[in-house]
Structure 1
Amino acid sequence: MQNSFMLGVSVGESFAEYILLDGINTVAAKRAYLSRENLKNSLQQFVSAHKEKGIAKAFVSLRISEKLMDYKLSGAVAHVTTEGFENWLELRGCSGAALTSSELHFSVRERILASGQILHALAQEEIEAIAAKLQLMEIKKVCLHFLHANINPAHEKQAQELFQAKGIEVFTPEKTENQDEVTRWRKNALNATISSLFQDLKKDLLEGMKDAVPESQVYFVGSAGEVFQDETNKRVGSLFASYSALGFQYQNSKMDVLHLGLEDFVLISPDSWSENWESPWGKVENKSLQMRQLSIQPTMGIKLNSFKHFDFHRNLEGWEPGPMSFGRGQKTTLMDLWTENAKVTKMAGLQDRMVAAGIQKFKTALLTMVKSSYDRNLEISTVIKELQSLGMQKVVMESLLHRQNKKIKVTGPLAELFANGFKKDPNASIDDQDFAEARAVVAVGLKAKV
């Protein structure tokens, strides 16, 4: 009888979920807090404890932090474009963030018309001159962005072969039906920028599973529901893969999905598609289910507004260093409000993470704000309860205003924490099973029948 055990792995910016399924039944599950646990080691420990089961396949979603997509952190990449189109990566809606250093922008005198006809042939000596400069600068990666190369790739292939002969890794835009060169080029640039980081994370994942799952049976899930092993043009899509996977489970149910995760609160519309990602660098070609980040997030800061009343700050503090109650954080966050809630203290991945000194530090910070607030006589316990209520109301109201379907499924590790807010909504239901992202990743993989 063929083995039915499937491994699901969903890696986020700060947490990773691992789940082992036998059909629809959960055999084992774990959530790793990546600031305290190594990805490779924690995964290795999980699969080693169950390798006798004989895992048939593993399906993975791998998210990379937007912060690490900065070329200054991920490594420099050169760009070679058709002459006259050097600034296209910065066009239309770019916030000013650069995808590479200006000294690594090069152009060549080549031109292919929209019909595919070659108007100006690519000169080999131009590519060789650029390659020589890159070698002197010790730049190992280059993106090719030639106009209309998706229609006639002759010049793109010529340049690619010349650069590769010099030992330089070449990245070219994925061939799709999208005719918008800017969004295609920008995706290629980001794929190249995070290639080394993605490869390092992929290596850790494969090494963590090698004793239980052959590499040939490890598959990655993309934002459009595709399953693949060569991720060359799929890295950007990894940012949204697990959330799209959550939505795909409810495409036939006529309901939206509100995922209340430890890292993000996101509303997913399974019946609608988005063709582009509105990134900090401008529009990027990326097909995924339509999703909306809520205005309130789990690591959102707490502040006094201009009227000296307690409110939430738009800045996200993140999980590195994390909430104050974890001991290293320096600013109060929404998550700190539930520090002493039994549902949080016993939650997989968070248990034993709160420290007494951190909890007291949070209360002291809150007390300091109370003394500066409009009502200086408030009790700390009252402030906490009111902020909990405010946070819950914001989540419920925003999900109600922006859902596209009448019904909504609330998932994620914090779903039960906010469940009371949805009690009066007859169209809302709570997914009481944890590890929703990892389960969804397996579901997408099985549907693909690889």
Structure 2
Amino acid sequence: MDMAGTGLRIGIDVGGTFTDFVLLDDRSGSVILGKELTSHDDPSRAILAGMEKLLNARDLRFSDLSSVVHATTLVTNAIIERKGARVGFVTTRGFRDAIEIGNEMRYELYDLFLQKPAPLVPRPLRVEVSERVDAAGGIVVPLAVEDVVAAAGVLRDRQVDAIAVCLLHSYRNPVHERQIREILQAELPGIPVTLSSDVAPEIREYERGNTASANAYVQPLVTRYLAELQAQLEARGFEGAIHLMLSAGGLTTLASAQARPIHLIESGPAAGAIAAGWFSASSGSADVLSFDMGGTTAKMCLLKNGEPQRSMEFEAGRVHRFRKGSGLPLKVPVIDLIEIGAGGGSIAHLNAMGLLKIGPESAGSEPGPVCYGRGGTRPTVTDADLVLGYLSPDYFLGGEMHLDLSAVHGAIEREIAAPLGMSVLAAAAGIHEVVNETMASATRMYLAEKGVDPRRHTLLAFGGAGPVHAYGLARLLRIPRMVVPPGAGVMSALGLLVAAPAIHLARGYISRIAAVDWSIVDALFGAMEWEARSIMEQAGASWSDVEIRRFADMRFIGQGFEIPSPIPAGGLSPGSRSEIEASFTAAYEQRFGRRITDIGLEALTWRIQVSAPSRSTRLRFPESPPGQSAEKGVRAVYFPGPGFRECAVFDRNRLLPGTRLVGPAVVEERESTTVIGPKSELVVDDALNLVVSVNSDTSIGEAAMSAA
């Protein structure tokens, strides 16, 4: 396949077990897929090795690439593992302990030994300065310059690597924070300074302080990593642009990512959700539940009309990784999804009561599941899937990696089967069913909180393990239809290439809607659009083509939390009030199922979302030469209820549009495997999606294949 030229882009998603690659020729839509085990000690090693393998196999060079688009787990891992920089924290006198006190929320109401997340900045590295700005932005106490100079001396002596500044009410008036930055840069040259008014100009000191601290905490690490990656790419002849995926689903520039690395904290999962939106359109699915199951976690995201929902807050570094409320709340725009400690590498074990549990600990890529033969000794979900016949020991990664089935039998026997007095097959089936129920249970809660009936949605499955478990999950959730897109095993990397440049900005200004000074609001939107224009143009977007959407975080007076609501474009005035109030009333009713009209409203934060047009590339995936049979053979595969069944195994690359399969059957591709259960029907649509009607009313019990 000829892919040389200037239209070549490559998407790279670094995951917990595998690093995924997609090489795209924008002129023809041709894509080439790749996968490498992640090198956790230095992620760039797997990145460069995978890129070289993909390019060399097609006689291409790094200089042929026009851009590299990257999603990384570096930020979230640094916070979870507490391996970030030594950060100093400068705040208003009297508020040194605000980021440790937090708020009154308790994630376990009756736990007397509740463990709260420790702040990223220990108390000895937190210093105070005299100043005060009131809630309206007025200066009550001028900044004491001598305090800032003294603070710089303290932080110099304590050898900090980065500094976060968070002053009271600086979201309304950042003048003192900016003065502090100028002084610190003069006193401590080379030390990066993060201002809370830059990364999170919103109300709530605890969340704003956490966000500034987290940005400073990861900034030296991310800056160094991206600079080194750029240098290594350029040393190999790359002359194009490097773009990064933001947590809210848009692309940004290298410089912007280095300035605000905290906005990359969910870049990998966001890329998957963006890809899900792209494929929901190609498969004719308006309302979708995307299911991304990789080596470490499973991610669920709800999409309405192909658009993922977004949140303006995110929890990082949880004490209990998958327990809501146990982490550090950040003011960061993210795609609204849930993560579950259930991936292919999740380790199966017996708890203190002798009950079978899966995860959240993962074998990752080092040592990996037992079947990888890289030193793993504890059985994982992937190991169980191999025993149950879902995976082929000879066709994992297209045959590049042979899976050791005998070692898996020994590990499951030793760790699970023998202690429970059951066979290895029964233990493997138990592992598979427990992990499916774990994901289904978390998903039910996620959807119930949003008032969503899963039966009215399509399950769009991807990730290395997603298509293996999608059939079982769909049955548990009673979802009648599932879709597995082409390239499902590397779909997050593909999402990087169909995403468009985008930016989300916010400004805090608290006022009752009846008393808003609309000239202030117009000035805030004008400033945000000016900032967004600079970033978008650096990312290669034309300002004349972008879409600008405005929102206000509003609430009833006295309500505890606000709700983002759309507001009209253009100049705002008292005449805009009725339209803005109606927007909030509709948003409130959609969320809570009731309409309230006799209570006044107030706005806290004003936001814009600026995005370039989505890419309309028609993707062309690798196909086998015509005339070759798609059926590869037959093997025994386990299904709950009937047990093991003889299943036909098919090569996905040879399934043509219109092909129809009736389960049970298995469809294999290099990066993933799709399992189709009994009495389920699969059709390959024109976009090469596998569209499965789960438990369809067919009387055919054996796998069959016919051309529609």
Shorter-chain TM band: 0.7 to 0.9
- Aligned residues of 1:302 and 1:311 also touching (Cα < 8 A): yes
Q: Which residue of 1 aligns with 2:252?
A: 228
Deviation at 1:350, TM superposition (A): 9.4
Secondary structure in structure 1 of the residue aligned to 2:336? strand
Q: Which residue of 1 aligns with 2:591?
A: none
Q: 1:383 aligns with which of 422, 427, 432?
A: 427
Q: Which residue of 2 aligns with 1:136?
A: 157
Q: Which residue of 2 aligns with 1:158?
A: 179
Q: 1:45 aligns with which of 52, 77, 81?
A: 52
| Amino acid of the structure 1 residue aligned with 2:311 | S
In structure 2, distance between residues paired with 1:317 and 1:416: 20
Q: Which residue of 1 aligns with 2:289?
A: 256
Q: 1:364 to 1:228 in 2, by over 3 A?
A: closer
Q: 1:344 to 1:21 in 2, by over 3 A?
A: farther
Aligned length: 444
CA distances 1:40-89 after superposition (whole Å, capped 9, x unpaired): 53155246522278222222112226452269632311001001111222
Q: 2:300 aligns with which of 267, 271, 287?
A: 267
After alignment, is 225-234 or 43-52 more displaced? 43-52
Q: For 1:18-167, what aligned pairs fall within 5 Å after superposition?
A: 18-23=21-26, 24-35=29-40, 38-39=45-46, 41-43=48-50, 45-46=52-53, 48-49=55-56, 50-51=60-61, 54-64=64-74, 66-69=76-79, 73-90=83-100, 91-92=102-103, 95-166=116-187, 167=189
- Aligned residues of 1:111 and 1:120 also touching (Cα < 8 A): yes
- Aligned residues of 1:48 and 1:212 also touching (Cα < 8 A): no
Which structure: larger Rg?
2
Q: Which residue of 2 aligns with 1:193?
A: 217
Q: 1:130 to 1:234 in 2, by over 3 A?
A: closer
In structure 2, distance between residues paired with 1:286 and 1:275: 6
Q: 1:11 to 1:204 in 2, by over 3 A?
A: farther
- Aligned residues of 2:291 and 2:461 also touching (Cα < 8 A): yes
| Amino acid of the structure 1 residue aligned with 2:162 | K
Q: Which residue of 2 aligns with 1:214?
A: 239
TM-score by length of structure 1 reads 0.86
Q: Which residue of 2 aligns with 1:298?
A: 344
Unaligned runs of 5+ in 2: 106-114, 319-326, 503-535, 542-708
- Aligned residues of 2:222 and 2:261 also touching (Cα < 8 A): yes
Q: 2:397 aligns with which of 348, 351, 355?
A: 348
In structure 1, distance between residues paired with 2:144 and 2:444: 58
Q: 1:212 to 1:438 in 2, by over 3 A?
A: farther
In structure 1, distance between residues paired with 2:53 and 2:231: 13
| Amino acid of the structure 1 residue aligned with 2:297 | D
TM-score by length of structure 2 reads 0.57
In structure 2, distance between residues paired with 1:153 and 1:349: 55
| Amino acid of the structure 2 residue aligned with 1:439 | L
Deviation at 1:422, TM superposition (A): 5.7
Secondary structure in structure 2 of the residue aligned to 1:31? strand
Q: 1:231 to 1:52 in 2, by over 3 A?
A: closer
After alignment, is 297-306 or 119-128 more displaced? 297-306
- Aligned residues of 1:186 and 1:284 also touching (Cα < 8 A): yes
- Aligned residues of 1:294 and 1:395 also touching (Cα < 8 A): yes
After alignment, is 132-141 or 42-51 more displaced? 42-51
In structure 2, distance between residues paired with 1:294 and 1:68: 19
Q: Which residue of 2 aligns with 1:240?
A: 266
| Amino acid of the structure 2 residue aligned with 1:197 | L
Deviation at 1:335, TM superposition (A): 2.5
| Amino acid of the structure 1 residue aligned with 2:52 | Q
In structure 1, distance between residues paired with 2:125 and 2:150: 13
- Aligned residues of 1:264 and 1:293 also touching (Cα < 8 A): yes
Q: Which residue of 2 aligns with 1:415?
A: 466
Q: Which residue of 2 aligns with 1:331?
A: 378
- Aligned residues of 2:91 and 2:167 also touching (Cα < 8 A): yes
| Aligned CA-pair RMSD | 3.2
In structure 2, distance between residues paired with 1:267 and 1:309: 26
Q: Which residue of 2 aligns with 1:439?
A: 494
In structure 2, distance between residues paired with 1:432 and 1:48: 21
- Aligned residues of 2:383 and 2:408 also touching (Cα < 8 A): no
In structure 2, distance between residues paired with 1:421 and 1:446: 36
| Amino acid of the structure 1 residue aligned with 2:498 | A
Q: 1:177 to 1:141 in 2, by over 3 A?
A: closer
- Aligned residues of 1:339 and 1:345 also touching (Cα < 8 A): no
- Aligned residues of 1:408 and 1:428 also touching (Cα < 8 A): yes
Q: Which residue of 2 aligns with 1:289?
A: 335
Q: 1:6 to 1:318 in 2, by over 3 A?
A: closer
Identity %: 16
Q: Which residue of 2 aligns with 1:277?
A: 314
| Amino acid of the structure 2 residue aligned with 1:445 | A
| Amino acid of the structure 2 residue aligned with 1:169 | P
Q: Say whether residues 1:170 and 2:219 are aligned partners.
A: no
- Aligned residues of 2:436 and 2:473 also touching (Cα < 8 A): no
After alignment, is 101-110 or 439-448 more displaced? 439-448
Q: 1:386 to 1:263 in 2, by over 3 A?
A: closer
In structure 2, distance between residues paired with 1:260 and 1:312: 14
Deviation at 1:398, TM superposition (A): 4.8
- Aligned residues of 1:59 and 1:219 also touching (Cα < 8 A): yes
Q: 1:121 to 1:202 in 2, by over 3 A?
A: same
Q: 1:418 to 1:291 in 2, by over 3 A?
A: same
By relative contact order (CA 8 Å, sep 6+), the higher-ranking structure is 1
| Amino acid of the structure 2 residue aligned with 1:333 | T
- Aligned residues of 1:247 and 1:256 also touching (Cα < 8 A): no
Unaligned runs of 5+ in 1: none
- Aligned residues of 2:17 and 2:296 also touching (Cα < 8 A): yes
Secondary structure in structure 2 of the residue aligned to 1:159? helix
CA distances 1:135-157 after superposition (whole Å, capped 9, x unpaired): 22332321111112222222111
CA distances 1:348-384 after superposition (whole Å, capped 9, x unpaired): 399437568xx627624533543332xx2x2223322
After alignment, is 16-25 or 27-36 more displaced? 27-36
